[in-house]
Structure 1
Amino acid sequence: MTNILTEEQIDEIEQETLENLEVSYHTKGFDKIEKLRNSLHDTYYQVVELRPGLSLEIIDDNYYKQVSYTVDHYNFYALTAKFYLAGNHRVICPGLKRDKENYRETVGNNYLFYLPDIEEIEQYFAGDRIYLIRIVLNIDFLRSFINGLEYLPKQLQPLLESDSPPLFHRPVGKITLAMQTALQQIVNVPYQGMIQRMYLEGKVLELLALQFAQLLEAEGDKQPLINLKAGDIEKIYQVKDILTKNYDHPPSLIDLAKKVGINDNKLKYGFREVFGTTVFGYLRDYRLEIARKLLQEQKQNVRTVVNLIGYANQSHFAAAFKRKFGITPQDCRLGRKVV
């Protein structure tokens, strides 16, 4: 792992290398919208408190450098739900007695955690886009819906029964089609003003209901994951580094496995467990992110971009680009906003 920075050191780096900062308040239905760019990452952050004890955050970060830093959760007595639309995020969280201290949050999955009064280490990787929706609710807000514990997931019952409930981080499951629909409706709200706030609150409560229902269904029906040792995980990260350095001419799966000394079957399934996608699904997304930057920021023509990122067929590239970003490569080059 790279050197671990404190939050203060991260703030100092961000301030010293700040290239752009735009902050607006009480606009587009959000309490605060922030856009910033520095040497570590660029960020588009939106937050709104929908009612006391219930907040919605939309976070879109693109990282230029690998970075690890501590995050302070002291006095943060709230339940947090996260839904990953893009990216992978590694966390080391000492003090979890029932869960793994070292875990990952990956694209296409949703998570629920209660982690007050701890300090964790978060790790991000160069070239990654972290795009997620986060919902924060305090325990009193949750309690306002509860008439009894019969239909509440067991994981959440101690929050209402105990003054010192156990800490937990729970991967709840895959983002379902119903969740995906609600997430897209949050990102693309069709209303403004008061109606927008009402609409957002309804969709946030819908997401929480879907997540809690998924948690209820999963209880007692856990599927075992492939057994990865620390050395296997390290090799899988080496594969990721090889892919990002050779994205224009990537090795085959078998060659990748040979390079790092791991069984190709373990690599295939282990990579999905660690990063939430296949080896070449990750490569595809990485290539497309580079393509987006070349088109959007450097205004390279489409044929040049296709050659630079290693696509053999321009029409295949265009189709993959539109599936990921919702617009054509040419529209992206001309400045149309990515969906």
Structure 2
Amino acid sequence: MNREIIDINDCTILLEEASTDKTMVDSCFFDEPVIAIAFYGAGDVGLKVKYDNETKTFHHTKGMVLSFYADDRVEFEHHVSHEKPLQCLVIATTIKNLDKMPNGEGQFLEQFLSPLVHPQDHYVEGPVFNMSPEMFLLVEQFFNNKHEGHLKMMFYRSHMTALLSHYFGQLALQKVNEIKAPELEKIYLAQDILLSNLENPPSLTELAQRIGTNTNTLKKEFKAQFGVPVFKYLQNERLKKAYNLIKYEQKTVQETAWAVGYDSLGSFSNAFEKKFGYRPSQV
């Protein structure tokens, strides 16, 4: 279990990583009431939020953003296994520090996350959605940072600002393109289908039929929710899985290409380099 805590600009950044060959539970509490945004990386760890007699369970956390208010009576329980390692970045602040934040973050928190700024319970949950590819890449960079000392703090400060700007930007976009709850459930079902069939995904028409909508609605609402078209999202997920297969499971480039649905090694390597900036053989 690796846990790092960094204090920047009246905010606290918490970086947590854990992997295990067995199954373990990692519990986390906050010493004082906080407003926080949690960004979950590639691990897809299980999460339970417990307070009083309530329990909220999240089964698919890969790429998830969770905003919340929580006091010291709230427990965050991560269920870590070999298949589901933990990779979580939390940016947290307190209500009293909102006016001190240097880039207007406090105003955006009030605008988009007002229920968290004026909590009515021990745990108040804000919007939950999936990161855009740009946000996911920024989160990965936090965990891959190699800087030390003042350069490290400069890196964290700049990347925290960039990540929050993308986060509030996505909230603003969702506000404009608000999707009704029944349609949102269909979009998340489409996401689950894609993630379960990365190597052999359905066509756009088949996917629309399986979730009970038409292709135009699927394309429009999927992009509104995730910030990219359906098959751009699919490609991003394939390449993120490929990166983890090579880095953490020691798969060869050829094995990895087949595992994520690429028949051509050249096409896979070119797509990988375009996304990450280096060839899969350099991971």
Fold match by TM threshold 0.5: yes
- The amino acid that maps onto 2:279 is T
What SS does the aligned partner of 2:100 have?
Answer: coil
- The amino acid that maps onto 1:265 is N
CA shift at 1:159, angstroms? 8.6
Structure 1 equivalent of residue 93 of structure 2 = 137
Q: Deviations over 1:50-77 (max 9, x none)?
A: 379743223457899xx9x998868640
Q: Are 1:56 and 2:7 an aligned pair?
A: no
Is the Cα contact below 8 Å between 1:83 and 1:175 reproduced in 2?
no
Structure 1 equivalent of residue 262 of structure 2 = 311
Q: Are 1:226 and 2:182 an aligned pair?
A: no
CA shift at 1:255, angstroms? 1.2
- The amino acid that maps onto 2:4 is V
Is the Cα contact below 8 Å between 2:38 and 2:66 reproduced in 1?
yes
Structure 1 equivalent of residue 278 of structure 2 = 327
Q: Deviations over 1:297-328 (max 9, x none)?
A: 55444334333432133222112223444432
Number of residue equivalences: 271
Q: Could you tell me the percent identity over the aligned residues?
A: 22
Is the Cα contact below 8 Å between 1:112 and 1:172 reproduced in 2?
no
Could you say which structure has the greater relative contact order, defined with CA pairs below 8 angstroms and 6 or more residues apart?
2
CA shift at 1:185, angstroms? 7.4
Moved more, 316-325 or 264-273: 264-273
- The amino acid that maps onto 2:154 is Y
Separation in 2 of the partners of 1:210 and 1:289?
Answer: 18
Structure 2 equivalent of residue 199 of structure 1 = 154
What SS does the aligned partner of 1:269 have?
Answer: helix
Structure 1's unaligned 5+ residue stretches are 1-33, 35-44, 96-100, 333-339
Structure 2 equivalent of residue 257 of structure 1 = 208
- The amino acid that maps onto 2:90 is R
- The amino acid that maps onto 1:199 is M
* Higher Rg of the two aligned structures: 1
With structure 1 as the length reference, what TM-score do the two structures score?
0.52
- The amino acid that maps onto 1:292 is Y
- The amino acid that maps onto 2:126 is H
What SS does the aligned partner of 2:201 have?
Answer: coil
Is the Cα contact below 8 Å between 2:45 and 2:85 reproduced in 1?
no
With structure 2 as the length reference, what TM-score do the two structures score?
0.60
Q: Which has the higher helix share?
A: 2
Structure 2's unaligned 5+ residue stretches are none
Is the Cα contact below 8 Å between 2:11 and 2:91 reproduced in 1?
yes
CA-atom RMSD in angstroms: 5.7
Structure 1 equivalent of residue 126 of structure 2 = 169
